[in-house]
Amino acid sequence: MLKPHIFVIFGPGGAGKGTLERALLERVPALWLSRSWTTRKQRPGEPDDAYTFVDRETFERHAREGGFVEWVEIIPGQLSGTPTPDPPPGQDVLIEVDVRGARMLRDRYPDAVVIMILAPSVDDSEARMRQRGDSEELIRTRREMAAQEEAEGREIADHVV
């Protein structure tokens, strides 16, 4: 049996990763989403299956047991990780991460296709974050990180969209 192809998408907050992810999953039946784990609180109106929402203790136990291919503390107090992919036979893998996760996955899976997603503008990115209910403090933090993430991301991405 062939090994699955791995597609990694990443980009700054509000870039449109989730929208692209949903469109790809709708249009490509042979694509399986590796659902990230997170310790952040679920946003109002966010689907239950957007992430595997867990408390910090559960997350850290899973990390100690080697259950993630990558994990990071995105912002202080918020852990996020990619569980070891286990797609159904014949399906390729789609993974959404931040730039640090993309670098770790690039190192672990050199043949992965790594795609950086950018919002059309900073204003669009901020509007998207506000629309989904992010706090002004979080938006400020993400905006400050965005330029560095973009520069670093361009070094590891196979494609920039």
Q: Which of 19, 9, 12 is nearest to 157 (CA)?
A: 9
In a domain, 70, yes or no: yes
Q: Give the domain range for residue 148.
A: 6-160
% of the chain exceeding 90 in pLDDT: 56
In a domain, 21, yes or no: yes
pLDDT computed for residue 122 by the predictor: 66
Strand positions, DSSP E, 24-112: 31-34, 37-38, 52-53, 68-75, 78-83, 92-97
In a domain, 123, yes or no: yes
Range in 37-46, 116-125, 147-156 the model is least confident about: 116-125
Domain count of the chain? 1
Per-residue pLDDT reduced to its tens digit, 77-126: 899 999 999 999 999 999 999 888 999 999 999 999 999 998 766 676 67
Tokens linked to 76: 């202080």
d(C-alpha 98, C-alpha 52), whole Å: 16
In a domain, 25, yes or no: yes
Binned at pLDDT 50, 70 and 90, residue 1 comes out as low
CATH number at residue 156: 3.40.50.300
In a domain, 1, yes or no: no
In a domain, 33, yes or no: yes
In a domain, 109, yes or no: yes
In a domain, 51, yes or no: yes
